[in-house]
Amino acid sequence: MTESKIAKHVKLIDIDAYSPPQIADKIDKIALVKAKLGITQTFALGVLAGLYIGIGAQFATLVISDSTLHFGINSLIAGVVFSLGLMLVVVGGAELFTGNCLIIMGYVSKRVTTMEVANNWTVSFSGNFVGSLLMVFLMYNTHQWELFNHMVGAKALLIANTKVNLSFKFALARGVLCNAMVCLAVWLCFSGRSSADKILSILFPIGGFVASGFEHCVANMYFIPIGIFLSKQPEVVVAAEKMAGKPIDLSLLTWKGFFVNNLVPVTLGNIVGGVILVGIVFWFVYLRPVIKINFNVKQDFFDK
């Protein structure tokens, strides 16, 4: 092979991960695909996503239910374990409302219409809710909550009760930060070329938001309803009070408390965090027409 032919096949920059402009372009194109999915398909994939996130949530609850480790370490373990949920969503394939906030990039690029965004968000959110409640029903009937002298159920009850007692401001702020990290996890996933890359990309952003106590609307579709069901079990309440070291007030742990005190502000916060802090910012940096032309010119130069 001549030197000229060798040079032709050597790139000036050759890295395994996709570059940020390439990630933005991929998400922009995938936004169009997601927006064009039929309602039935989106709903079914939304149900799967709700189930997957519920699997991660119950796994995290089980693991930390009887832990005596330091609070920070305990929270980190819960976050790492909970990451299983998004791994199943991304690698397995499902429609998660919070991750779908990145469809806004296709909308701002005028590839996706307002109605398509609204349909995708509404249908995926509804599917996530149904899938989460299905997971609640299944887990309740496994009686896993009776393990360790009802300590697993007690931990689930305390988690749910803490969430419904957040103020609107706290829930909103924690929702904003949560979905910024979820969408960053999705963003990082698109930099990878293999399933291993995607799993590693998910681990720390998702583990970080859980450990930091941020609020995810779909995860809470599992955490709070399971707590509502368990609040009717006297043995679980007794175990929870023993775990907390004091009597606990469960007056807000109701369906009204779930929707009004948590789901509404957290969902609004998730939309702000995913749409504005990630989607629109990255569109502005990488996908504005003038910016995109410049990046394409640079990429063509490096690929030669």
Mean pLDDT of 111-138: 97
- Closest to 82 in 3D by CA, of 206, 175, 185: 206
Q: Is residue 135 part of a domain?
A: yes
- Percent of the chain surpassing pLDDT 90: 86
Q: Is residue 30 part of a domain?
A: yes
How does residue 132 score in pLDDT terms, banded at 50, 70 and 90? very high
97 class by beta-carbon count within 10 Å (0-12 exposed, 13-18 middle, 19+ buried) = buried
pLDDT at residue 5 above 60? no
Cα 139 from chain centre: 20
Which structural domain, as residue segments, surrounds residue 213?
18-299
- What is the torsional sign of CA 41, 201, 219, 100? negative
Mean pLDDT of 259-280: 98
pLDDT in tens, 85-124: 999 999 999 999 999 999 999 999 999 999 999 999 999 9
Number of domains within the chain: 1
Q: Is residue 2 part of a domain?
A: no
Q: Which CATH number covers residue 291? A: 1.20.1080.10
Mean pLDDT of 190-218: 95
Q: Is residue 12 part of a domain?
A: no
What's the CA gap between 9 and 149, in Å, rounded?
A: 65
Mean pLDDT of 190-202: 93
Q: Is residue 205 part of a domain?
A: yes
- C-alpha distances (whole Å) from 246 to each of 107, 137, 226, 239 are 50, 29, 21, 11
pLDDT in tens, 275-289: 999 999 999 999 988
pLDDT at residue 66 above 90? no
pLDDT in tens, 18-27: 999 999 999 9
pLDDT at 7 (0 to 100): 46
What is the overall mean pLDDT for the chain? 92
pLDDT in tens, 139-195: 999 999 999 999 999 999 999 999 999 999 999 999 999 999 999 999 999 999 899
pLDDT at residue 10 above 60? no
Mean pLDDT of 203-222: 97
How does residue 304 score in pLDDT terms, banded at 50, 70 and 90? very low
Q: Is residue 51 part of a domain?
A: yes
pLDDT at residue 199 above 70? yes
What's the CA gap between 149 and 164, in Å, rounded?
A: 25
pLDDT at 294 (0 to 100): 60
Q: Is residue 114 part of a domain?
A: yes
pLDDT at 293 (0 to 100): 56
Buried b (16+ CB within 10 A) or exposed e, 219-243: bbbbbbbbbbbbbebeebbebbeeb
Which stretches within 93-193 are classed as H helix? 104-108, 114-142, 147-164, 168-189
Q: Is residue 13 part of a domain?
A: no
pLDDT at 6 (0 to 100): 43
255 class by beta-carbon count within 10 Å (0-12 exposed, 13-18 middle, 19+ buried) = exposed
